[in-house]
Amino acid sequence: MRRIFGALILLGAWGTAGFVQTSAPPAAQQPAKSAATAAKNDYSNGDNWLCRPGRQDACAVDLATTVVSARGQLTAET
């Protein structure tokens, strides 16, 4: 019984040895930028907008979709 118990402990330790992380990932080691140091967006500059009325950009496509209710009813959403 002791041999079986000892073997199970060794197998468990050996099986989890590859999953133990000894150091933090590189992203976690870098300090996060605070809101005070982040550059503010200049919304008066049209180049800083993803979607803006009156120009051909990422939102100049048909954004209509179909909503499916819990009961299966379909409703068009423009």
Tokens of 51: 């979607």
DSSP string, 24-60: --HHHHSPPPPTTTSPPP-TTSGGG-SS-TTS-STT-
| pLDDT tier for residue 53 given thresholds of 50, 70 and 90 | confident
CA distances from 50 to 32, 42, 43, 62, 77 (A): 25, 13, 11, 16, 22
Asked if the model's pLDDT at residue 16 lies above 60, the reply is no
pLDDT tier at 68, thresholds 50, 70, 90: very high
pTM of the predicted structure, to 2 decimals: 0.31
Confidence class for position 77, pLDDT limits 50, 70, 90: very high
What confidence tier does 52 reach under pLDDT thresholds 50, 70, 90? confident
C-beta neighbour count of 71 within 10 angstroms = 5
